[in-house]
Amino acid sequence: MTYTLTEKDIEFLRSIPQAVETKGKLSELDHVVAAMLVALLSDGHILLESNPGLGKTALVKALSNALGLGPSSVGRIQFTPDLMPSDITGTLMPDEVDPQRLTFKKGPIFSEILLADEINRATPKTQAAMLEAMAEFRVTVLGQTYELRHPNDLDPRGVKQVLNPFMVLATQNPIDQDGTFDLPEAQLDRFMFKVKLELPSADTLDKIVEKELSNTAAEYSKPRPAVSASEEQDETEARLETLKRLENARRGIMSAKLPEAVSVHIINIVMATNGRFDQVRYLSSKRQSALNAMVAGRVEYPLGTRAAISLAKATLGWAAVVEADPSRPDEFPFESVAALARVVCPVLRHRIRIDHEMSDTDYSPAHETQRLDDYLKELAAAAAPDLAVGNDLAGYHLRFKAKLDATREMGHL
């Protein structure tokens, strides 16, 4: 069955960033919330690079509340060097009723939105415990497999099963690298986006301080009010309605097809980093030579298949969540040129390794990330087809370059 995105779907998606700002009293994070929403809709995960104390936990909780998933949907793991895989996945424990019987006790990974704080502080063995969950949405403990997503009794648009979401928001500190373990390329490739979260403006910081000061000890000590059966029923119905709306939007977005020129562009980017210039299409000989010169000797670790898949999904997701006109939902794929320009850096910056210019003496992590982003933008612009692709007239590369230049005026992602 074919699913199409509707005006109500887009209006629902557009309402989330404002709801996050209102419920979490957070601002200047619309672009980060949009990336989180795109990942959630396309079964992706996010690697968030930021210094401690920038409100990552508050952001995750605010997103869950804005979506209507409820506080129980959020999990958090503080990664440390002594953390064991079973501390994440769970393990067999003596049953409370019958101590002679072992039962599986779920770990914190059994959440719908999981904050994996400072994931690079755990050992590679413990980091690997996340791989199966992120790729297959399940965990295997002592030979037994446990699903992280389960069907809910809903039937939107003839769909018999609606699965609850599962998304990992992992963070790493770019400054303090003592006692950390670099994430292997195979695990980095599981993240759809690598997003940079920067210090907020002075006005926003002032609001954050004011908010924290207003949370007095008396407010913390207030007893939690009892929840009646009718209120619990209302919360359950609201949650199921959210799952239905997310599923409708997800199927509508992922059932769409990218314009051929955008699809060719994505494949060109991946093929160029692998030196497969015989597979780079719809580029004039002059631009193909320039692309070859840009890549030759610079790319140490090229892009793979998952990079192309993530770019395609992220482009469609961003086009629907951010760029689309709600009154014309069926036309949202045509906004994918602007969407690709917006997501190309956060999708690829953790998947590629380049040889930086040795003449640059500034090796700070922030500056290195900026140099990589600049290279990725140049690479994406150079790989854009300039010849006619199907029904798309020649000059796509100029339209993409204009959209890419426009992203410099927006917030960092």
My answer on whether 191 and 81 are in the same domain is yes
Residue type, 104: F
| Count of CB atoms situated within 10 Å of the CB of 379 | 24
Tell me how far apart the alpha carbons of residues 167 and 405 are, in angstroms, rounded to a whole number. 31
What value does the mean pLDDT take over residues 176-205? 80
Question: Element (H or E) spanning 351, and its range?
Answer: none
State the pLDDT at residue 217. Answer: 42
State the pLDDT at residue 39. Answer: 96
Pick the last residue of a domain from 253, 288, 311: 253
Model confidence at 386: pLDDT above 90: yes
pTM for the model: 0.87
Name the token pair of 387: 């010849």
My answer on whether 262 and 242 are in the same domain is no
Domain that holds residue 183: 7-253
Q: Is residue 2 part of a domain?
A: no
My answer on whether 142 and 281 are in the same domain is no
My answer on whether 278 and 224 are in the same domain is no
Q: Is residue 262 part of a domain?
A: yes
My answer on whether 196 and 50 are in the same domain is yes
Q: Which of 97-101, 107-111, 247-251 has the lowest mean pLDDT?
A: 97-101
State the pLDDT at residue 316. Answer: 96
Q: What is the CA angle 44-8-345, rounded to 5?
A: 30
Pick the last residue of a domain from 238, 253, 268: 253
Q: Is residue 349 part of a domain?
A: yes
My answer on whether 217 and 277 are in the same domain is no
Question: Element (H or E) spanning 111, and its range?
Answer: none
My answer on whether 43 and 173 are in the same domain is yes
Question: Element (H or E) spanning 335, and its range?
Answer: none
For the chain, helix, strand, coil in percent to 5 are: 50, 15, 35
Model confidence at 353: pLDDT above 80: yes
My answer on whether 232 and 261 are in the same domain is no
Tell me how far apart the alpha carbons of residues 223 and 232 are, in angstroms, rounded to a whole number. 18
Q: What is the CA angle 332-307-253, rounded to 5?
A: 25
Q: How confident is the model at residue 4 (pLDDT cuts 50, 70, 90)?
A: confident
My answer on whether 263 and 353 are in the same domain is yes
Pick the last residue of a domain from 233, 253, 273: 253
My answer on whether 286 and 212 are in the same domain is no
My answer on whether 327 and 235 are in the same domain is no
Q: For residue range 133-151, list pLDDT tens digits in order.
A: 999 999 988 889 999 998 8
Q: Which of 150-154, 229-233, 304-308 has the lowest mean pLDDT?
A: 229-233
On the CB side of 184, how many CA atoms lie within 13 Å of its CA?
11
Strands (E), 118-166: 138-141, 144-147, 151-152, 162-163
Q: Is residue 1 part of a domain?
A: no
pLDDT > 70 in the chain, percent: 84
How many domains does the chain divide into? 2
Q: What are the residues whose beta carbons fall under 8 Å from the beta carbon of 1, sequence distance 6 or more?
A: 157, 158
Q: For residue range 8-59, list pLDDT tens digits in order.
A: 999 999 999 989 888 776 777 889 999 999 999 999 999 998 777 677 888 8
Q: Is residue 286 part of a domain?
A: yes
Q: What contacts 24+ positions apart, CB below 8 Å, involve 131-138?
A: 131/186, 131/187, 131/190, 133/89, 133/109, 133/166, 133/168, 134/45, 134/168, 134/187, 134/190, 134/191, 135/190, 137/43, 137/166
My answer on whether 157 and 226 are in the same domain is yes
